[in-house]
């Protein structure tokens, strides 16, 4: 919808542990009284993980705390569960194997 079109998510990587954690900024674009586009309803979550066993597992953590979005963790087929061990090796932006 119209409001959903204004929501943005920005992912940055945690400098201390870029292989396993990341930061997520969520906000809505709005116009101020001068008509300039500004960030509104900003939320920032740090050191999130895609490890389902982590207390900062992104899906659960954000869904419990965000007023703007609800996250899903789906694989390429649309399934809710993704078996990461079946994927094999990969790489990160830093070039290290994961």
CB contact at 8 A, 46 and 23: yes
pTM of the entire structure?
A: 0.72
**pLDDT band at 78; cut points 50, 70, 90:** low
User: Is pLDDT of 17 > 60?
Assistant: yes
Percent of the chain predicted with pLDDT > 90: 60
The DSSP secondary-structure symbol of 96 reads -
Predicted local confidence at residue 91, as pLDDT: 52
Per-chain mean pLDDT for the chain: 84
Which one is predicted more confidently, 57 or 18?
57
Q: H or E segment at 43?
A: strand 37-48
Supply φ then ψ for residue 38, to 5 degrees: -135, 160
The reported pLDDT for the residue numbered 18 is 85
């Amino acid at each position: 919808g119209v409001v959903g079109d204004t929501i943005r998510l920005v992912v940055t990587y945690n400098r201390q542990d870029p292989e396993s954690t990341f930061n997520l900024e969520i906000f809505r674009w709005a116009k101020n009284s001068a008509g300039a586009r500004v960030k509104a309803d900003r939320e920032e979550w740090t050191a999130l993980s895609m490890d389902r066993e982590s207390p900062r597992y992104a899906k659960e953590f954000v869904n419990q705390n965000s007023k703007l979005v609800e996250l899903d963790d789906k694989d390429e087929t649309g399934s809710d569960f993704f078996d990461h061990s079946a994927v094999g090796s990969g790489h990160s932006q830093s070039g290290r194997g994961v």
